[in-house]
A and B are shown apart, each in its own frame.
Chain A
Amino acid sequence: MRVTQGQFSFLPDLTDDEIRKQVNYAIDQGWALSVEHTEDPHPRNTYWHMWGNPMFGIRDAAAVMMELDGCRKANADDYIRINAFDNTRGVESIVMSFIVQRPAHEPGFRLQRQEGEGRMLKYSTSGYSMDRA
């Protein structure tokens, strides 16, 4: 079940060159980049693990690709995404976020039913990938 979160998620996986182009675009706009990873693809999981610090003031995509390679090596089976942060006054938020690596197998989500008072059911979803030990 291919998770479709963030930009470009309906497109085929981005190649390194394409990632570099996107990163260069963000740098040209003056945004700061960061690399994050997680094993839980639930859509409400907003805060992924940060890999290193956000990179303010870097001038070239090679630096980001270097960090990305490091993250890939250390977390080969996690989702990895790149964020771009715009620190213009009044914006101060993430303006780009796209997934750059997915685990080899994306098992999807299960629907959990919780029975309550008077046969009332509460539904929630949780990812199968969180089941691994």
Chain B
Amino acid sequence: MNAPLSEPVPNLKNIFDEAGVGEVLNELDEELIGLKPVKQRIREIAAYLVVSKARMNIGLETEQPSLHMCFTGNPGTGKTTVAMKMASLLYRLGYVRKDHVISVTRDDLVGQYIGHTAPKTKEVLKKAMGGVLFIDEAYYLYRPENERDYGQEAIEILLQVMENHRDDLVVILAGYKDRMDTFFRSNPGMRSRVAHHVEFPDYGDDELLEIVQRICGRQNYTLDDCATEAFREYIPLRREQPHFANARSIRNALDRARLRQANRVFEQAMSGEAEIDATALTTITAADIRSSRIFTGGV
């Protein structure tokens, strides 16, 4: 059972470098802001990969671990974004054979009449084989109040494939925490097949500000210092309003600021009040943000 002492000692650092794991982890750190539990979990999966390779090199059998995951969290915390990234990550870590993600919701899996569900679900599963199947809002699959609902059939087929084709497919479920909890309570088989339950915590104020700056950079806008200050004040105020959706709310706020900036620049150009140059077109000032109703107590 033990490896004989004459076997070469596995060099984990070499394996780490060769597999390009460090690169993957660095990219993750740079592209995603916050999300500590997610990064932690991915780091653990990467470490497992390195150790499995080392074990394989000295002749110990390693069974592919189950990688099905469930992402829970409030709206706008990055669940869908990370799921899309996960396929390429797992592919580069060597866990899945191809790097495609098939993203589906309930409608793609459940049929409208008897006999429709099984072929529909099977088609989706066949397309996803070798990569990742991402099921958004998974709890809609299960509708206990309607006994003519075919969601249960889709769940059965999923459970079977998740167990028998562990090496061929990784399934990622995503949804809001309380509803996913209800879903799992009514489907214990699903809960036991999902090995990784990852929580997506709400973003902190600093993280949201960083996200804004990053989005601005990507869209070729800059916030001047007063604007940054204004945003810094905007975020906690928005958080207290109802229907706060983390990064999505902030992105919407930024879109509204861009609208106001466009209007302001347009007015200035039409009235001849100011010269419009490239800087004017790309800068968002405090005025564009402070005119939000949030600052006067509205939404």
Contacts and interface: CB of A to CB of B under 8 A. Distances in A.
Interface residues of B, number: 12
Given A55-B126, A66-B126, A67-B126, A60 B165 contact: no
Measured as residues with beta carbon below 8 angstroms from the partner, the interface class of chain A is 10 to 19
A59 interface: yes
Interface in B57-109: 97-98, 100
A58 interface: yes
B131 interface: yes
A60 B100 CA distance: 10
Interface in B125-156: 125-127, 129-131
Given A57-B127, A67-B126, A62 B100 contact: no
Contacts of A62: 129-130, 165, 168-169
Contacts of B100: 59
Contacts of B97: 60
Contacts of B98: 59-60
Contacts of A59: 98, 100, 127, 129-131
When A and B form their complex, which 8 residue pairs have the shortest distance between CB atoms, in order from nearest?
Answer: A60-B130, A63-B126, A62-B168, A62-B129, A63-B129, A60-B129, A59-B98, A59-B130
A55 B129 CA distance: 12
Nearest to B96: A60
Interface of A: 55, 57-63, 66-67
A61 B98 CA distance: 11
A55 B127 CA distance: 9
Contacts of B165: 62, 66
A57 B131 CA distance: 13
B125 to A, nearest CB: 8
A123 B165 CA distance: 51
27 contacts: A55-B126, A58-B126, A58-B127, A58-B129, A59-B98, A59-B100, A59-B127, A59-B129, A59-B130, A59-B131, A60-B97, A60-B98, A60-B129, A60-B130, A60-B131, A60-B168, A62-B165, A62-B169, A63-B125, A63-B126, A63-B127, A63-B129, A63-B130, A66-B126, A66-B129, A66-B165, A67-B126
A63 B168 CA distance: 9
Contacts of A55: 126
B230 to A, nearest CB: 47
B94 to A, nearest CB: 15
Contacts of B127: 57-59, 63
B3 to A, nearest CB: 27
Given A55-B126, A60-B97, 5 more contacts: A59-B98, A63-B125, A63-B129, A63-B130, A66-B165
A90 B51 CA distance: 50
Nearest to B165: A62
A57 to B, nearest CB: 6
Nearest to A60: B130
B281 to A, nearest CB: 43
Contacts of B129: 58-60, 62-63, 66
B103 to A, nearest CB: 14
A72 to B, nearest CB: 15
Nearest to A67: B126
A61 B129 CA distance: 8
A58 B169 CA distance: 13
A108 B26 CA distance: 64
A61 B100 CA distance: 14
A62 B100 CA distance: 14
Contacts of A61: 130
Nearest to B99: A59
A17 to B, nearest CB: 13
Nearest to A58: B126
A63 B97 CA distance: 13
